[in-house]
Chain A
Amino acid sequence: MDILAYIANNIPLILERTVEHLSLVVVAVGAAIATGVPIGIAITQNRRIADAVLYVAGMIMTIPSIALFGVMIPILAVVGQGIGYLPAVIALFLYSQLPIIRNTYTAIDNVDPALREAARGMGMTAVQRLRTVEIPMAVPVIAAGVRTAVVINIGITAIAAYIGAGGLGDFIARGISQTDPRQLVTGALGVSILAVLADYALLWVQNRLTPSGLKG
C-alpha cells in the first residue's frame, strides 16, 4: 500500500514531527499543572472566586481552538512572535486550565466532610490537612484532569500546524493542500495513535497514583 510505503520511507521525518508535537503538549500541560493545581487548591477557600474562575476557564474552552490561535497571532505579533511555537503553546496552556483547575478543585472540595472533621478534631491545621489528607486523595482525580488536558491538547496541536507550529498536523495540512492521501492518512493515523496511546499511558499512571484503599 502506498501509505505504508510512504511511512516506511519517511520515518525520520515522522519521528521529528512527533517529537515536535509532543514537546508542544508537554510544555503546555506542564506549565498548566504548575499554575492550575495551585489555583485549584487556592479557590477551594472561597466559593464565589471558585465559581468565577471556573466560569472563565470554561468560557475559554468553548472558544474554538483555531479562533484562539487566530486571536493570539496579532497580539503576539507585537513582540514579533506572531506565528509558530509561542502562540500555539500559550493557547494550549489556556485550554489545559479548565480540566486541571476544575479537577483539582472538585477533588479537594469533594473530600468527604467526615474526613475533614476527623482531621480537624485531631488538631491538624488547614495546611497539614491539605498535605496529609486532601491532596493525596485528590491526586487520582487531578491525574484524570491532566489526562483529559493531554488528550485534548494532542488534538489541538494538530490544528496548530496551520499557524506554523509544526507537529504531526503538518502531514494532514500538506495532505489536504497537496491532495496527497499518503501524507493525510499518515498524519491522521499519527495523531490518533498518539492520542490513544497517551490516554492509556496516563490511565495507567492514574491507577498507579490511586491509593489502593480507594481503588475499585
Chain B
Amino acid sequence: MAIPGLDRALRAGTIVGLLAAGVVAERSGLLPEILSHWGDILYLGREHIYLVLISGGLAIGVGVPLGVVLTRRRMRNVAESVIQVVNLGQTIPTLAVLALSMSVLGIGTVPAIFALWLYSLLPIVRNTYQGILSIDPAMLEAAQGMGMQPRQMLWQVELPNALYVIIAGIRTAIVINVGTVPLAFLIGGGGLGQLIFTGISLYNTGMMLAGAVPTALLAVVIDFLLGMGAYWGVPRGVNPLR
C-alpha cells in the first residue's frame, strides 16, 4: 500500500524543518553568534578534512592489500584468527583507542592520525576479506580452468567482483573516521572538535554549535558523496544498485 507522494512530502518536511531551525537560530540571536566563529570554522574545518583524508587514505592503502593477502590460500590458517582480532578491535570504543594512542605516542597530530588510521583500518580489512571470499566459486573454477594465473585471477576476476563490498567497507570506515575526528582535539589533533568541546566547557552554545553543525554537515556530505561514488563508480555488471 504505497502512499503516493510520501517521499516528496518527507523531503519538503525536512526543508521546512531546516528553515524553521534557521529562523529560530536567527531570532534567538544564535545564528550571528555561530557565524562570529566563521574564521575558526574555516581553519579548523580544513584541519578536520585533512585529518580524515590522511588517516582514511592510509587506511585504504594498507587495509585493502591486507584484506587481499588474508584471502590467499597460504594464509588460510592464520586468516580466521586475524579476522577475529580485527572484529575484536572494532568493539573497542574510539575514545579508548585515541586515549591509548596518546599514552603511547603523546599528544599532537601524529598520535591522532595513528589512532584514526588504526580504527578506520578494521572495516576496510574485514569487508575486503569477506568481499573476496564471497565470490561465487564457479567463477573461480571457470577462471582456473581457462588457464588464468593466480595474479590474473585476482585483478581480472576477484577484485572487480568484490569491488562493491570493498567500497561499502571504505564508506563505513570513512564515516566512522569523520565522526571520530572531533575527539582528536582532546589529544591535541586539532579539527572542529576544538569549537565543540571548548563551547561545552565554557557553556557557550554559539561556539559549540559552530563546531557541531559543520561537523555534522561534513559527515552527512561526505557520506552522500561516497554513496554517489559507490553508485556511479562501480561498473554496472557488478553493481547491485544499477
Contact = CB atoms under 8 A, between A and B. Distances in A.
Do A and B share a complex?
Answer: yes
B104 to A, nearest CB: 10
A162 B200 contact: yes
A86 interface: no
A54 B211 CA distance: 26
B196 A70 contact: yes
Nearest to A55: B10
A154 B180 CA distance: 15
A215 B209 CA distance: 48
A67 B223 contact: no
A66 interface: yes
Interface in B61-110: 88, 91-97, 99-100, 102-103
A125 interface: no
Interface string A170-184: 001101100001001
A59, A66, A175, A192 pick with most chain B CB within 10 angstroms: A66
A162 B197 contact: yes
Nearest to A152: B93
A52 B7 contact: yes
Given A62-B179, A64-B178, A191 B95 contact: yes
B3 A66 contact: no
Interface stretch (B127-135, B145-153, B212-220): B212-220
Nearest to A195: B91
B138 interface: no
A49 interface: yes
A162 B208 CA distance: 13
The majority secondary structure among interface residues of chain A is: helix
Interface in B185-242: 186-187, 193, 196-197, 199-200, 205, 208-209, 211-213, 215-216, 219-220, 223
A200 B3 CA distance: 42
Contacts of A187: 96, 99
Contacts of B183: 66, 159
A73 B208 CA distance: 10
B1 interface: yes
A151 to B, nearest CB: 5
Interface residues of B, number: 44
A23 interface: no
Given A59-B220, A195-B92, A67 B215 contact: yes
Interface string A55-96: 000010111111111110110010000010000000000000
Contacts of A59: 220
Contacts of B169: none
B2 interface: yes
Contacts of B178: 62, 64
Interface residues of A, number: 47
B30, B179, B193 pick with most chain A CB within 10 angstroms: B179
Contacts of A154: 93
Contact of B93 (A158, A162, A173): A158
A176 B93 contact: no
B91 A46 contact: no
A62 B220 CA distance: 6
Contact of B212 (A48, A49, A67): A67
Nearest to A161: B95
A64 B215 CA distance: 7
A184 B219 contact: no
Contacts of B215: 63-64, 66-67
B121 interface: no
A73 B205 contact: yes
A67 B96 contact: no
Contacts of B95: 155, 158-159, 169, 172, 188, 191
B41 interface: no
What 4 pairs between A and B have smallest CB-CB spacing? A155-B93, A70-B212, A64-B179, A67-B212
11 contacts: A47-B2, A67-B215, A158-B96, A163-B200, A172-B95, A172-B96, A173-B186, A188-B103, A189-B96, A192-B93, A196-B88
Given A67-B216, A176-B102, 10 more contacts: A48-B2, A64-B215, A66-B182, A67-B215, A71-B216, A73-B208, A158-B95, A162-B197, A188-B96, A188-B99
